[in-house]
Structure 1
Amino acid sequence: MLYEKKLEDKAFQKLISLGYEEVIIKNREDLTKNFQNQFLKYNLDNQIDSNFTNINQLHKNWFDDLEYILFNDNKIKNVLDTFEPLREKHNVKMRDSKKGFLLELFNKKDWCKNLFQVARQVVMEDLQNNQNNARYDLVLFINGLPLVLIELKKQWQGLKEAFNQIKDYSSNFQSLFRYIEILIISDGNETEYFANQPQEKSNLLNRYRFQWTNFDYQYMNNLIVFIDDFLKPCRLAQIIARYIFSHEDKKSLLIMRPHQIHATETLLKLAEDTGNNGYIWHTTGSGKTFTSFALCDILQSTTNAQVFF
């Protein structure tokens, strides 16, 4: 436990130095209250709806309706159910009108405008399956929503222990933790990331575990080095906005591998700088279909480019 505590301390301090704000979450009440506060602060600070300027404009039951949409247990059962709500705008009731304000959970375009927090040793009681309470090592929040979970273990235990632990957690996420999209495991020297999955697709967790690399394809396995690149606040928001997809046919969540992300960014810059036509060609199994899809999705949402796929 001493090694894990030191590793957690280092990771936590690194995240704070990158701009994350510490938040203490010890139960569901803390979780919900923090989400309410961050959701309102983000939308007010960024004037997401120009007519929304004060929390007193909201209906007294505004959160009850939003809660039903975002994390009702009968409607929201896993990360696939939260994928679209995270990226959409939502109608929030006004105080003296049947109309509402169009507010959002996450800024998909101006990544740095999101609010970033980190919590350590987050305890969540199990209200459904009568299992032991979960204790998460590090959780990263964006606008009050938990989107990244980090599990740390001793070096001599290796990543297997961390993976088994986080797999158990992911099969029983409840409430707002169903919004977790990225899972990270590390023993300090080795670090891997992968997309969260619905319980019935938990076999994909082990199949799609990736090590992060820089643009020159040098591995960034050391936890602190990984955090300094992959988990910089704006970079993390960019990855969530651009490089995670919901696969409707396979009913799973997909996150891009490092070479796919770097290739997409290189091609995007080339398209923006030159304005020329182009095509993507590579060997079978390289992930070019996913890369092509991501590039097309970005180009269509940010430019007037014509895309043939």
Structure 2
Amino acid sequence: MTTRPEALLEAELVAQLRGMGYGIVAIQDDAGLLANLQAQLETFNGTSFTQRDMTRLLNHLQKGTLYDRSKILRDRYALEREDGTVTYVRFFDGGDPAANRWQVTQQVTNVGSYTNRYDVTILCNGLPVVQVELKRSGLELKEAFN
């Protein structure tokens, strides 16, 4: 059984996603992820956000149960600005997936209780929606978990 290196599989996956119109973005850590999230949400919503706005958006996204959060992502959020005006923020366009801003990044490191590095992460409007952990092909399944 021939094996293919994990790095080759990763490059092929990223190339395939790029060919489908995904943007390639270099993100190394949580700070880069948050900066990209802000840029993507600003573009998607056609507005800019202050640091205070982003703090409110992040707090809103972290509320409730998993079910609550999935609903939050589908709904618009009434963001009260510092000047008292309200901006309605969308996180996804569920009716037209092509209207969303799709990106792919590689080797993002997340430091928390454990340090994790994800091979490939797919983002929608700056939000990570899929994390792919690749293993070289040709291995028995049980070997992939060692």
Asked if these proteins are the same fold (TM beyond 0.5), I'd say yes
For residues 8 and 50 of structure 2, the distance between their equivalents in structure 1, rounded to whole angstroms, comes to: 46
Question: Shift in Å at residue 67 of structure 1?
Answer: 1.4
1:109 to 80, 95, 107: 95
SS in 1 for 2:27: coil
Question: Shift in Å at residue 2 of structure 1?
Answer: 7.0
5+ residue gaps, structure 1, are: 45-53, 166-309
Runs (4+) off by over 6 Å: none
SS in 2 for 1:14: helix
Identical amino acids, percent of aligned pairs: 29
SS in 1 for 2:119: strand
| Aligned twin of 1:94 | 81
Change (3 A) 1:158 1:140: farther
1:14 to 13, 16, 21: 16
Question: Shift in Å at residue 155 of structure 1?
Answer: 2.3
For residues 117 and 94 of structure 2, the distance between their equivalents in structure 1, rounded to whole angstroms, comes to: 30
For residues 12 and 2 of structure 1, the distance between their equivalents in structure 2, rounded to whole angstroms, comes to: 16
Change (3 A) 1:59 1:33: closer
Change (3 A) 1:134 1:21: same
For residues 117 and 152 of structure 1, the distance between their equivalents in structure 2, rounded to whole angstroms, comes to: 18
| Aligned twin of 2:118 | 136
Change (3 A) 1:60 1:32: closer
Question: Shift in Å at residue 26 of structure 1?
Answer: 0.9
**Amino acid of the structure 2 residue aligned with 1:145:** L
Q: State the TM-score, normalized to the length of structure 1.
A: 0.43
Question: Shift in Å at residue 80 of structure 1?
Answer: 3.5
Report the RMSD for the aligned CA atoms in angstroms.
2.3
Contact 1:59 1:93 in 2 (8 A): no
Question: Shift in Å at residue 91 of structure 1?
Answer: 1.2
Contact 1:153 1:159 in 2 (8 A): no
**Structure having the higher Rg:** 1
| Aligned twin of 1:69 | 60
Contact 2:4 2:137 in 1 (8 A): no
**Amino acid of the structure 2 residue aligned with 1:38:** Q
2:26 to 24, 27, 35: 24
Alignment of 1:34-73 (within 5 A): 34-44=36-46, 54-55=47-48, 61-71=52-62
Alignment of 1:205-224 (within 5 A): none
Question: Shift in Å at residue 150 of structure 1?
Answer: 1.4
More helix by share: 1
Q: Which has the higher contact order (CA 8 A, sep 6+)?
A: 2
